[in-house]
């Protein structure tokens, strides 16, 4: 029988070539018995790696083109030329095309936001909601803005119950003195329209208590006074 010993680190040392050969033989036997499984797993992993690399290369190559297209159309958006911004002009792609043609890129993501805002201004609320829901951002302030705009679209559609959840999300993202009171006021108004006066009263009170220096406090107190009669009944 071959002797084994242990080095100072506790690792087992194989002293004889025969013992080493035995280890290798066991590995060979395992591979032979499970050849199809092993080859299949290795092949699947390699295929996944190749597919991921190809996808990343494709997205990176598309990103530059998409960013250039978006840079051109943002001028129309900022000039309030909404139709041109959405559909393009002078051979330039519009926001709708950029959002659809370059999916997976940062430019496509941002195009969804701009398109949502433009469509909301045009009164195309369902389309605006779809594009804004397709937008995401790691910047919580921008993400909150998108949630608030979705709430605005639902309010325009006279669907305050749907608007409430989006205003709640907007108010909960990265709370701050500037935007959170505005989102809370929108939430309270939606709650009133959804026949939830007690909830609205609580939300107005949050504005007063949590953001006493906000310019929204005056209106919050006024609306609380108007609601007191309803809540007390």
Residue 62: phi and psi, rounded to 5, are -75, -30
Asked whether the predicted pLDDT for residue 59 surpasses 60, the reply is no
Please indicate whether residue 49 or residue 94 has the higher confidence score (pLDDT).
94
Sign of the C-alpha dihedral, residues 103, 49, 38, 36?
positive
Asked whether the predicted pLDDT for residue 136 surpasses 80, the reply is yes
In the predicted model, what is the mean pLDDT of residues 222-230? 87
In the predicted model, what is the mean pLDDT of residues 52-58? 42
What structural domains does the chain harbor? 137-233 (1.25.40.10)
**pLDDT for residue 58:** 42
What is the rounded CA–CA span in Å between residue 91 and residue 80? 19
Could you read off the pLDDT of 69-80 as tens digits, one per residue? 888 888 888 888
Counting residues of the chain whose pLDDT is more than 70, the rounded percentage is 73
Counting residues of the chain whose pLDDT is more than 90, the rounded percentage is 53
**pLDDT for residue 145:** 95
Binned at pLDDT 50, 70 and 90, residue 1 comes out as: very low
What is the rounded CA–CA span in Å between residue 233 and residue 130? 40
Cα–Cα nearest to 104, from 133, 65, 160, 62:
62
Please indicate whether residue 33 or residue 5 has the higher confidence score (pLDDT).
33
**pLDDT for residue 138:** 85
* Mean of pLDDT over the chain: 82
Binned at pLDDT 50, 70 and 90, residue 22 comes out as: low
Asked whether the predicted pLDDT for residue 29 surpasses 70, the reply is no
In the predicted model, what is the mean pLDDT of residues 138-145? 90
**pLDDT for residue 53:** 41
In the predicted model, what is the mean pLDDT of residues 180-208? 97
Which residues have C-beta within 8 Å of that of residue 170, sequence separation ≥ 6? 144, 145, 147, 148, 151, 179, 183, 186, 187
């Amino acid at each position: 029988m071959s002797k084994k010993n242990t080095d100072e680190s506790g690792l087992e040392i194989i002293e004889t070539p025969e013992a080493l050969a035995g280890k290798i033989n066991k590995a060979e036997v395992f591979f032979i018995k499970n050849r199809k499984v092993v080859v299949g797993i290795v092949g699947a992993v390699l295929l996944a790696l190749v597919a991921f690399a190809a996808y990343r290369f494709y997205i990176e190559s598309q990103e530059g083109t998409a960013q250039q297209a978006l840079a051109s159309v943002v001028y129309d958006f900022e000039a309030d030329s909404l139709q041109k911004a959405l559909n393009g002009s002078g051979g330039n792609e519009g926001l709708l095309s950029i959002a659809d043609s370059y999916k997976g890129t940062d430019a496509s993501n941002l195009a969804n936001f701009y398109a949502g805002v433009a469509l909301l201004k045009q009164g195309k609320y369902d389309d605006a909601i779809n594009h804004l829901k397709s937008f995401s951002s790691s910047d919580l302030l921008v993400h909150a803005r998108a949630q608030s705009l979705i709430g605005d679209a639902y309010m325009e559609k006279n669907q305050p119950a749907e608007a409430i959840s989006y205003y709640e999300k907007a108010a909960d993202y990265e709370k701050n003195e500037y935007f959170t009171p505005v989102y809370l006021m929108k939430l309270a108004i939606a709650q009133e329209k959804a026949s939830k006066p007690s909830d609205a009263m609580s939300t107005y009170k949050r504005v007063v208590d949590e953001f006493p220096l906000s310019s929204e406090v005056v209106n919050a107190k006024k609306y609380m006074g108007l609601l007191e009669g309803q809540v007390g009944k």
